[in-house]
Structure 1
Amino acid sequence: MTTGIHHVTGITRRVQANVDFYAGFLGLRLVKRTGGFEDAEQLHLFYGDALASPGSLVTFLVWEDGAPGRVGHGQVSEIALAVPPDSIGTWLVRAMTAHVPVEGPTREFGETVLRLKDPDGVTVKLVGIDLPAAAPLPDPLAPTRLRSVTLMTEKLADSAAFLGQFGYRPGTVEGAVRRMVSDTDVIDIRDGSGFFAGIPGTGILDHVALRAVDADAVRRMRLALKDTDVTSVHDRKYFLSLYVRDPASILLEYATDGPGFTLDEAPDQLGTTLFVPPQDAARAEDLRVLLPQFALPGEERSPMRDLHFVHRFHRPENPDGSTIVLLHGTGGNETDLMPLAHRLAPNATLLGVRGRSTEEGINRWFRRFDAVTYDQEDIRAEAEAFVAFIEDAVRSYGLDPARMTYLGYSNGANLIGAILQLHPQAIRSAILLRAVQALENPPEPAEGALAGHGVLMLNGARDMFGRMAPALEQALRRGGAELDSRTLAAGHELSPDDLTQAGAWLA
């Protein structure tokens, strides 16, 4: 039977740093970029050798600015890549020069090992061993293939026996680590008794996939595992696979070698096109706007600054110099409004921002006591912080304040409305979708404070909160804003008419 590791999948919170490390520092090839097959709104990146050979693949789901996880038992805890034996010294110098955290060299199971940390803190070992690449990379010192993964388990004997079903045989033992051997690589099983349990999140290795010779092998494995939590067989386009947890709850995948990653890209074009899963083809354009952008090593890139609000840019192919700043509704995030805004203005740069207040784990822009009673101090504090953030963003990214429009929905629109009253010079153009007056005692505007400010309010005729919208309209008019308020045949939810009306106003 075909044995060995097919790929290892981790989770990253910074796509550009991830690309810079795996494609830049390590020199692996980015061989595929897709929307995730379980969730197409997650970018999935695949790195490997020159032809994306099974056994060379390290993949990452991108949870941009996602919460960190914790390494512990019940997880894949380390990955190891084979490099030429005489290259370890050079890799040590490269790591120190690039300020990559590095330990070693040490000896493990008779092999020379360097331990690196990737930008998320994932342990990546470089093992000096002669394992030729199936499709060599341009750099002769580049990693050739996966040497091993380390599994952290509280049930060492049971985890080892479970791997036997996938063709792994018992090898040597070194301290608390038992080595399992296949025809092409090894899996190290570490006794994690006494360790904390792992917690999912960024900086975690989610699963390891083991190789199946063909689809029939996957189906036979599913039958053999019928008394476990094994999943049905999934078509991942580039391979067929199933998932199962071992007795220690470590997630394993069993994946076919074919049809392979050259199915939809020529070998010399691997990794250059963003693909979406076939079931999401109808919203492909929206996904291309939602998914985070990055630059490969050597490509022109835009810097990202560590500012006080989590934020994301979408930069169109032909930017016209305008920017739309997006403020999501309750429970949303910085990308929610990007597809809508892209349809409104295809050549505008989009700056999505995430609210800093949370309520039972969901994102908001300010605290509330109930559905229509808001924390007034928090509104004022967050409005002031947001204005400062925009000032920093304008300086940091070279944005043109005269060509910035603010688009908010629900809770995000409410904050924009409050900013217009509390800091009238901060925003000069705004589209407010289902906004209400969030301020209980709004300041009396100075005469002409909002003169020249263009504001579009789109209210819903069936919106349960609509009764609170007229107070905001009156406040904006008193300040001198050029207010265009329209009521749509909708509730609190967005409708196709919002796109039509906002597009016409923005044009």
Structure 2
Amino acid sequence: MTAGAMAGMTSGLHHVTGITADVQANIDFYVGFLGLKLVKQTGGYADAEQLHLLFGDGVGSPGSLLTFLVWEASGRGRTGIGQVSEVALAVSPESLGDWLLKALAANVPFDGPTREFEEPVLWLKDPDGLIVKLVGVEMPSPAPLPGAPTRLRGVTVLTDNGAETATFITRFGYRRAQREGLRQRMVSDTDVVDVRETAGFVPSVPGAGVPDHVAFRAPDADALRSMRLSLRDHGPTEVHDRKYFLSLYVRDPAGILMEYATDGPGMAIDEPPGELGQTLFLPPQAAHRAADLLAMLPQFTLPGEERLPARSLPFIHRFNRPKHPDGTTLALLHGAGGDEADLMPIARRIAPRATLLGVRGRAVEDGIRRWFGRVDAMTLDQADLRSEAEAFAAFVEGAVTAYGLDADKFAFVGYSNGANLLAAVIQLHPGVVRRAILLRGMQATENLQTGDLSATRVLMLDGRDDQIVGAASTLADDLTARGAHVEARMLPARHELSDEDVTEAAQWLRKTFSDSGAAKPSELKAP
């Protein structure tokens, strides 16, 4: 007897979790196009720096939930063996024609309608390429939303051993039903899992457009414990408290990640039902980092809300806007190994009410993201440095125009490798960067020509015990010789950034905006 039978389990799907590389496009598709409700937004419980979105019916009922981990601007995954490949949602059979017309009007890729296991199906693709099937079948919801799918109809899983995967799924209250070709349909009291045997396929690779896992419903913690006991001889399992449900994770014989999740406590334990999804929650273990995480996690707007439209520019970038912006903008250039969110926490402390524009370097060396390449460990690639400096200068000019930013209220913060690129832009393209804070920067550009930098103000913050930059850089002297207004300060620090960096940068930034007549950033306080 399976653990599900022993526990008298609530059968069916609890949720399906996918991965998205574009949080705004994801919101626009699942809320704007499909009409689902955003019922919860949290920092990830496994990684608080990862945004997690949960969509569902009006109250976030188990069995209606589609959730997404946000890997902003990441690569697409690869669908293959050991993974969920398709998600199916239930809609009324008579509405499929309307959904087809809606997909045409919204430019959503689709195929069909066709029939699978005698059910009418319209195939859609979400912005990340995930196949979302609308299945014409009546499946009532506890809290239906007008014009939206009602519940999860099912999932398709890819395996190189269909018999073993099907047998494993019976643990969760499913039984074998009909077959179509290489697909075995498994049915519960509420929904279906299609097991598709794909021997010879390549293994799946995690990434955008490829689901992370499928979760089945457990009535309570006792059922979870029984299930775990039944899996003692199968392989490793993990149990985690996800606040809104308790979860058991296990992999089937094909490596498919499956979850057994309790129905309770549910989505409404920290928000009234009418306000679900309006507040960003952070896991308890990350509470001490709340301010930093609020600066780092990608932001989005719901359909109908005022938004800053995304623009196609040469560098991947992300904005973080405080509730009450003061009109200033800080562009942020991360150090080696960082990304566009890396400097947002420290920048938010430097300028609490500034709009932050984090930018991602385009060079990659041994898997580490940089701003320009190197010929070897000791030699910078000068051609690549100049090329990327030119591209970044064009990005700045494009961003100012495309987003309507005020160039008189614009400043730049670069750290380490990012500071080196920023210094190159200052020297190679005078006038593009007029205010810059260079944190642990050095002179990276060779064979510079003369040029007037008298309109440029620079704060250089170096670490007295910095073993990476050292004391040999001529950057401050080179900038000063060309007319730049440079303030260079040596802090009691190493290469890593410190509280002194925040204090010095905040004071300098307020002063330089005030001296120029532009609106100065607000005093250090919560946004």
Report the TM-score when normalising by structure 1. 0.97
1:467 aligns with 2:473: no
CA distance in 2 between partners of 1:229 and 1:21 (Å): 37
Aligned residue runs from structure 1 range 325-340, under 5 A: 325-340=331-346
1:6 aligns with 2:7: no
Q: Is the 8 A contact 1:290 1:335 kept in 2?
A: yes
For 2:47, give the aligned amino acid: D
Aligned twin of 1:347: 353
Figure out how many residues of one structure are paired with residues of the other and give that number: 502
Deviation of 1:370 after TM superposition, in Å, equals 4.1
CA distance in 1 between partners of 2:20 and 2:468 (Å): 39
Q: Is the 8 A contact 2:184 2:194 kept in 1?
A: yes
Deviation of 1:372 after TM superposition, in Å, equals 4.2
1:498 to 501, 504, 518: 501
CA distance in 2 between partners of 1:474 and 1:397 (Å): 35
Aligned-residue CA RMSD in angstroms? Answer: 1.1
**1:375-402 residue CA offsets vs partner (Å, 9 max, x unmatched):** 1111111100100111111110001112
SS of the residue 1:458 aligns to: strand
Distance 1:393 1:50, change over 3 A: same
Aligned twin of 1:20: 28
Distance 1:64 1:365, change over 3 A: same
Q: Is the 8 A contact 2:89 2:133 kept in 1?
A: yes
Deviation of 1:371 after TM superposition, in Å, equals 4.4
Q: Is the 8 A contact 2:443 2:475 kept in 1?
A: yes
Q: Is the 8 A contact 2:313 2:398 kept in 1?
A: yes
Q: Is the 8 A contact 1:436 1:468 kept in 2?
A: no
Q: Is the 8 A contact 1:222 1:230 kept in 2?
A: no
Q: Is the 8 A contact 1:437 1:469 kept in 2?
A: no
Q: Is the 8 A contact 1:117 1:123 kept in 2?
A: yes
1:155 aligns with 2:161: yes
CA distance in 1 between partners of 2:472 and 2:387 (Å): 22
Aligned residue runs from structure 1 range 274-289, under 5 A: 274-289=280-295
Aligned twin of 1:477: 480
SS of the residue 2:269 aligns to: coil
Deviation of 1:467 after TM superposition, in Å, equals 3.2
Aligned twin of 2:265: 259
Aligned twin of 2:144: 136
Structure 2 segments unaligned to the other structure (5+ residues): 1-8, 511-527
1:210 aligns with 2:213: no
Deviation of 1:230 after TM superposition, in Å, equals 3.2
**1:97-126 residue CA offsets vs partner (Å, 9 max, x unmatched):** 111111111111111110011111100000
Percent identity for Structure 1 against Structure 2: 61
For 1:219, give the aligned amino acid: R
Aligned twin of 2:328: 322
Aligned twin of 2:523: none
Report the TM-score when normalising by structure 2. 0.94
Deviation of 1:421 after TM superposition, in Å, equals 1.3
CA distance in 2 between partners of 1:417 and 1:130 (Å): 62
Q: Is the 8 A contact 1:4 1:183 kept in 2?
A: yes
For 2:502, give the aligned amino acid: L
SS of the residue 2:474 aligns to: helix
Deviation of 1:94 after TM superposition, in Å, equals 1.0
CA distance in 2 between partners of 1:192 and 1:263 (Å): 41
Distance 1:66 1:334, change over 3 A: same
Aligned twin of 1:61: 69
Structure 1 segments unaligned to the other structure (5+ residues): none
CA distance in 1 between partners of 2:393 and 2:149 (Å): 47
1:376 aligns with 2:379: no
For 2:164, give the aligned amino acid: D
CA distance in 1 between partners of 2:442 and 2:183 (Å): 61
